[in-house]
Structure 1
Amino acid sequence: MISDTEKRILQCLYVFPFLTVQQVRRLLMFHSSSYASTKFRALWMKELIQRRSLPSAIRAGSVPWIYALTRSGRSYLRRSGYNLRYHPYPSEVFAVEDYDNLRHDLAVTDFLIAGYLLAKQYPAISLIEMLHDRTLRAMQQSPAVFDGWLNFLVRGGKQQCIALEYERREKDVKAFERKIMALLNFIVPNAQGKSPYETQFHTASLTISFVTPISLDYTYTLKQRIETILKVTEKVYEADVFRLLYLPPGEVDPATFLTASWLRPFTDQKMSLIAV
């Protein structure tokens, strides 16, 4: 028998490829991490989820567990009506040995959790859909694959879609230029007036948010690089699509989406990510 709380955890693992106890505690607003751990253990004993520790060079006992669905867990959700076409298999999740890649995905999850909580805390904002990096990799038939995507509805009418680009490591100029060019090719309309992005996501609404934990200086460097590329490609009119933010690693405050702290190309004025 699976309790309602355990079902909710399985549903979280449908949206996110893997989660830590702390992330589920935030998502489901549990009163304590020990309570979340108890529920994880119950699902693990029922063989609906599996776990592994993050690879790390630090001392034993300091590394958090990450949890993902088992094949039985996937089957349970499929029987409950969930479409797992783009959901990664457990072997794909746990085969990753590069700790940097796992840390990237966990940081993406922290940002998306903040978007989920934003809609819980602000009645004027509804979250219609949320997609994680791993799901988008399977979905997007494009060189420009977002790290995350959120579809918000503001005050019941205005759609605001946010794509996340999480820059955990510094890129050289050429690599970053290739990334921006791929994004521009993805979002700029073709001769028929429709962009590949609009075809894929069925909306023209988009703000691409570049988030980096490196430093504020590096955030300004990325802003300058985007400005240069927009000038060279004569696409300065696309400047309002981009926002940039320095964000230290860890839990993300949902208010981050609303505060005027985001950089925009070609202006010194800081802006919010979502206008309420």
Structure 2
Amino acid sequence: MHYETIQFERRGAGAWIILNTPKNMNSVSLSMLSELERALIECESDRSIKAVILTGAGSAFCAGADLKNVLSSLNNSEPGTKDFLDMFDEVCGLLRKMPKPVIAAVNGLALAGGLEIVMCCDIVYAAESAKMGDAHSNFGVFPGAGGAAVLPKKIGLNRAKHLLFSGDIISAAEMERFGLVNQIVADQQLVEEVETYVEKLAAKSPLVLRRMKEVANASVDQTQDAALRHEMLHLRQHVRSYDLAEGLKAFAEKRKPEFKGY
């Protein structure tokens, strides 16, 4: 499949989606969103892909939306067609609901819409030199993919308000302290570290990972009792699965399990 604004690469069990317009710091355009949608749909349907990794080409992960492209899309969209906001919402939905682990490999600046993409990912690795911030307020722009709606759940209400109101850009180390970043690695080690993590995930049951992700995501907006009931429902379904039987059999036979995802 041909792409112009992204690169799509298979590396072992991982699918790497590389935002690839480095001259404008991988700013998100309508065409990039369309290509991301195609790539993510392929990732979801291909059972050999065990994890999806997002990163950026050049010195930035993603500097946010291409504002000129946004304005053009909003002003010139035909009735009944999807504009920039519709497409960004769809892409973020695909990332959040992807039935496989989604990993952000933040290699540089992740601002505004770039930060919102990071927040859609399950696991966040960041290079030591990476910097992040909401930045919408710096240009009088209102977030639409989680800046105000999701960031407080990720890092806490007061910290989120501070970043939203100030538009400040902070270090990856500070974002790790806030809880958004899982692990910081040396810049030159970022790809290697993520590939090692993907290899670890590839050995797990994809069915277990999918069900864990679904229950964990839903728990954020549930009471503890509701979340526990949801978890038990999935467990009741899981006890009938091939992967559980294979895992227990492999344990008894002292060998590595060979999961099939059902």
Q: Same fold (TM over 0.5)?
A: no
Q: Comparing both structures, which one devotes a greater share of its residues to helix?
A: 2
TM-score by length of 2: 0.28
User: Which structure has more RCO (C-alpha within 8 Å, separation ≥ 6)?
Assistant: 2
